[in-house]
Structure 1
Amino acid sequence: MTDSVPVRCPACRREQSFTPPTFPCSCGAPLTLPVLRDGAPEEIEHRTWQNIWVVVDCPSCGRRGHWPQPEFGCGCGRLVRVPVTPPSPVAAPASGPAVPRPAFRPVTIRTARDAVTAAAEYLKWLGFTDPRHPEDPEAGVDLYGEGLVARVDPATRPAELRDVECLWLHGLQRSALSVFFSLAGYARDARARGDALRIPLFIMDLTGTPQPVNDPADVLIRTGPPER
C-alpha cells in the first residue's frame, strides 16, 4: 500500500494527507511517483505542456519516462501541484550546431492505409523512431514506437470523445506520448478532452499533410519528441 505524505496548500496553508499516484511501467512493475517530502507545493494557475509531465526513473527497470504531474484539489478551491524527487542526472550527449528540419514530403491519401502511412511518415519527420503497425490494430492504436502511440482516424465523421480517451489510456499504459490524426476533425467534446489531456491533435487532408489543431500539437512540431 502506498504511504500518504503530509502536504500543505500554499494558498490556505492547511495541511492534509496526500497519497502519491501509482502507474504501471512498461516493464510491468508498479511505479509510485516519488513525492518530494520537503518540497514546496505550488498552486496551478495555468497548465502547459512542460508542467503537466514529470520525469521519473522506474525503480524496477531503471527506464526513464514521463508521467502525469501529481496534483490535488484543496478544500479551499485551489488546484495544487505536488513536487516529485528529480531523477538522477545522466550524461548529456555531445551536441553540435542545430540542423534545420527539412520540408515534409506528404503522402497522397486515397485509402485508409494511405492515411496511416502518411501519419507514420510525418511522425518520422517529427523525430520519432520507426513508427510501426501494432499486432492488434483493433485496440485503438494504429502506430506505435519508442515513447509513442498514435491513432489515425480516416472516417468521414469527426473523431469522438471516447476515441481520444482510449488513445490516452494506451499512452498511459505504455508511458508514451499519445498523438491523434483525423481526416474529419474532432467533435467539440473530443477536442476539449484532447486539450485537457495535452494530446497533440492533428487534422489531415487528402494531400497527406497534417496540420496542428491544438497547442500540444504546435509544441510537438517545435520541440520534437519528449526526452526519455
Structure 2
Amino acid sequence: MESVPVRCPACGRDHAYLTPVYPCPCGTPIAPPVLRDGTAEPITHRTWNEDWVTVRCRTCGRHDQWPQPELCCPCGTVLRIPVRPATESAPGPDAGAPPTHIPLPRTAAAPRPAFRPMTIRTGRDAVTATAMYLRWLGYRDVVQPAERPASRIDLRAAGLIAQVDSTTRPTTLRDVECLWLNGLNASVTSVFFSLAGYAQDARARADGLCIPLFVMDLTGTPQPVNGPADELLSTGA
C-alpha cells in the first residue's frame, strides 16, 4: 500500500503517512480507509467520541471502532487524517492491501524489537501505554502509582520521572515548568507525554530546558516532537 501524502496546514511541511493496521477478530489485518484527496486538520480540541472511526472488515463484514488516524508534525501540530465513512463502498482489491506493519519513526542506535503499542481509550490507558514505552526504551523499575500524586508525576523509573497529559487541550508552559522543577528537585530526567500536543511557549521552554516531549495518538504510539526526544529515542535509557 502506498503512503498517503499529507501537508501540515500550520507549517506547510509535507509528510508520507502510512495508516496503522489493526487485527479484526476474524484475523484479517484492517486499516481505516484514508482519503488520498482529503485535507488534514489540526486537532485543537479532543473528545473521546470524535477520536474513533468505524471501520468495516472486507473479509467478514464486521464493523468495529478504531482510533481516528493522526499524525504529529515536527512543528508540534497534531493532525487528524480524514477517512472515508464506513457506509461508502470500499475500493476494489486492485487498490492494494493494508501494510502488515508500521516502521518505527527512527532507527535506534541499539537494537530493540519493534514497540507494540496499546490502544488508548481512557486517561489511565494513556499512562499505561507510556509505561510500556519507557520500558521499551530500557528504563528499569517503571512504577505507576495507584492514585495520581499532588506533584502530578504519573510514572517513575530509575533516574526518570514522566508526566502524561491526557486532557483535550495542548499542554501548557506551566505544566512543562512544573515537571522540570520536580525533576530538578529529584535530580532525575524529566519526560513529557501529551495526547493533544503542546502550546508554542511550552515547547520552546522544553527545548531550552532539554526536556524530551512526545505526542501520543490513540494507538498508544509516542512520537518525538523535539530534539531531546529524538535523542532519547535514539539512545534509549
8 Å contact from structure 2 (residues 131, 144) kept in 1? no
Task: Indicate which of 120, 135, 143 corresponds to 1:109.
Answer: 120
Residues 165 and 108 of structure 1, relative CA distance in 2, 3 Å threshold: same
Larger Rg: 1
Secondary structure of the residue that 1:151 maps to in structure 2? strand
Task: Indicate which of 156, 181, 189 corresponds to 1:144.
Answer: 156
The runs of at least 4 consecutive aligned structure 1 residues that moved more than 6 Å come to none
Structure 1 counterpart of 2:128, one-letter code: T
Distance 2:168 2:115 in 1: 25
* Cα RMSD after superposing both structures: 1.4
List runs of 5+ in structure 2 lacking aligned partners: 1-108
Distance 1:145 1:137 in 2: 15
Aligned match of 2:165: 153
8 Å contact from structure 1 (residues 159, 186) kept in 2? yes
Q: Name the count of aligned residue pairs.
A: 128
Task: Indicate which of 198, 205, 219 corresponds to 2:210.
Answer: 198
Aligned match of 2:135: 124
| TM-score after normalising by structure 1 | 0.54
Secondary structure of the residue that 1:178 maps to in structure 2? strand
Quote the offset at 1:161 in angstroms. 0.4
Distance 1:129 1:193 in 2: 28
Aligned match of 1:66: none
Distance 1:211 1:163 in 2: 19
| 1:176 equivalent in alignment to 2:175 | no
Aligned match of 1:219: 231
Secondary structure of the residue that 2:206 maps to in structure 1? helix
Quote the offset at 1:224 in angstroms. 1.3
8 Å contact from structure 1 (residues 140, 163) kept in 2? no
Q: Percent identity over the alignment?
A: 69
More displaced, 210-219 or 167-176?
A: 167-176
Secondary structure of the residue that 2:228 maps to in structure 1? helix
Task: Indicate which of 162, 167, 183 corresponds to 2:179.
Answer: 167
| TM-score after normalising by structure 2 | 0.52
8 Å contact from structure 2 (residues 110, 235) kept in 1? no
Quote the offset at 1:136 in angstroms. 4.9
